[in-house]
Every structure is written in structure tokens, then in C-alpha cells.
Amino acid sequence: MRILVADDDATSRLVLEAVVTKLGHECLVASDGSHAWDVLTEHEIDVLLTDWMMPGLDGPELCRRVREELRHYTYVVLITGLANPQQVLEGMRAGADDYLIKPVDPFSVQTSMVAAERVIILHRQLADFRTQLEQTNLELLELSRVDALTGLGNRRRMEEDLARAHARALRTGRSYCLALFDIDYFKLYNDHYGHPAGDETLRGVARCLERSARANESVYRYGGEEFLLLMPDCALADAAVAAEGVRQAVLDMAAPHDARPTDPAFVTLSGGVHCWTPSSELSMPEALAQSDRALFVAKSSGRNRIHTVDHEHLPLPEMAPDSTDGTLTSIR
């Protein structure tokens, strides 16, 4: 153990240093309370043997500082020539773990060090356990924000990140875009191929989204077969191109979908994109609702397409003729 002896009496310091060193411990010394505090803040001390009466900081005040300001645990033994029980209690209430009466004999120091070592080991074990518990809690917290099937952020993480993105946009006066995607005819896919195949398709679409997202963008499983792409600091035209890239990436998977009633006979995505700008009066949930409205238009207009919205509370237009060419559309 690393032990600090704090005593303004040179003879007492030498005696205690000799005893502690003979017991096999590392020993540091301080000639007054202020010097002792400097050593305590510069080094990680296991045990403090401190005199009661010293210049600068006295023993009880040193005890109080150790308990209130040091992060690691230091076992404190208060050494006093005062045998008054009330003064001993005062020192214990100040933070001392044990006390010795002057003149100190080596055997008393040895027994005190045995007790100190046990307490220090216990505190280290508790500190290790607390660290492990905190790490486990962080891991559990992370898991609680991840969709188990796809590995994407789940609805909880999405809502937290959207709130932060909206607050940041309000603060900085920058825009952000939301792209909401839905797998076309996914119920028919599940009915035809079975849920295990459906789960694999969800994972495949999630990988397409992750590969398409840029460094500052985030992807979430919105729910069921729906996914959300959050694009901070992004204009509507760029967001539309990014969403089209996601749509094309899913189509390029060429995952067969023989149960869909329209061409192509592959798994496809429809998407709705909305861009929130500093001039917008929409809240974050309202901006998300606009993406959902755009997605509805894309689905109603023939699927396998992206529809963009850049007006607040845009009314639903008349449905465009069905098309299966997969080209980007923008109905405003």
C-alpha cells in the first residue's frame, strides 16, 4: 500500500516512516497539513496517517477534505495525543476510519494497517463492480435503442435523434430532410414466402440503407416494413437523389417477389421525402407527417418510386397515372 505520514513533529514522522517501511509499504511524508493535502491531490494514497494538531490544515480538516474532494477511497487514521473520547469521536465524524493514541507503538500501527488493507481491497472491489455495472448499463441502454432484427436504430433512438436534429436546426438555422420508405407489397411477400424470408428481406433492405447513408446521416427501422433516413444539413434536391439511390439499391438486390400484382417481379421500395427549412413553421412530428404524406402519394401513384414534398401541409394531389418505370417523380 502507499501510505502518507503527515506530522509536524520530525521525530514522530521518522518513527512512523520506519514502522510503515518495515511492514513492506511505500511511505511518503508531509511536515504539515497543507503539504499533506498537496501530496494527496497529486498521488493516489491508500492510507493517511495524520496527526491531529498541525500547522495549516489540522487532522480533522484534512479528514473532511479527503472525504469530500478525493475521488478514490483513502483510509484515514487519526493520530492524537488527546485521549478525550469526545475528541476521538470528533475526528471519526470528520471522516477518520481509525485512530491511534500517541506515543504510537509499532504493533498498533501494524494492526491498523491490516484493517486498512481489508477495507481498501473491499473498496477496490466495489469500484470495479460499479465500473462493470455502469458498462453493462451502457450496453443495455445501447441495445434498447437498436432494432434486434435489422441492427438499425429503433423507434426510440429515432425519436431521440429527430428531436436533437430539429433542435439543432432551429439553433443553427440549417435545414434537414427526412425520407420515409416502405417495402412494396410486403404483406403479399410474407404470405407467399413466409416470415423467415420476410425477415431476411428486411435485413437486406436495412443493409442497402446503411450502405447508401452518408457519414452524417442516420437510418432507423420506423416500424414493420418502414424505414427512415435522417439527412441533416441537406437540401430537398440532394435528399431526393439520395432517396432515389436507396430505391435503386433495393431494386438492384433483385430479390424475387413473384406474389406482387405489378411489375417488376422483385422487392422494391417506395419513399416520401420532406425537407424542413429554417422558414418552416412545422414541428418535428409535423415534418415527419409530411414525409408520411409523400410516401402515401408514392404508394398510390404506382409504387417503386420516390415522391418529394417541399410545401407545408401540402394537400394530397390527384393520383398520377400508375407507372412501373421506377423513375423519380416530384408532384408538388
Quickly count: other Cβ atoms within 10 Å of residue 41's Cβ: 11
The pLDDT tens digits of the residues spanning 172-208 come to 999 999 999 999 999 999 999 999 999 999 999 999 9
Global pTM reads 0.61
Within 18-80, strands assigned E span 26-30, 47-51, 75-80
Quickly count: other Cβ atoms within 10 Å of residue 319's Cβ: 11
Percentages of the chain per state (helix, strand, coil), in multiples of 5: 50, 20, 35
**DSSP symbols for 122-136:** HHHHHHHHHHHHHHH
Q: Determine the pLDDT at residue 321.
A: 36
Instruction: Enumerate the active-site residues.
Output: 225
Topology of the domain covering 2-139: Rossmann fold (3.40.50)
Closest CA to 82 of 54, 47, 53: 53
d(C-alpha 223, C-alpha 183), whole Å: 11
Q: Determine the pLDDT at residue 325.
A: 37
So where are the chain's domains?
A: 2-139, 155-309
Q: What are phi and psi of 231, to 5 degrees?
A: -125, 95
Q: Determine the pLDDT at residue 311.
A: 56
Q: Determine the pLDDT at residue 323.
A: 36
d(C-alpha 306, C-alpha 299), whole Å: 9
First vs last C-alpha separation in the chain: 75
Q: Determine the pLDDT at residue 83.
A: 63
155-309: in CATH 3.30.70.270: yes
Burial track 8-26 (b if 16+ CB lie within 10 A, e otherwise): beeebbebbbebbeeeebe
Regions of the chain with pLDDT less than 50: 313-314, 316-332
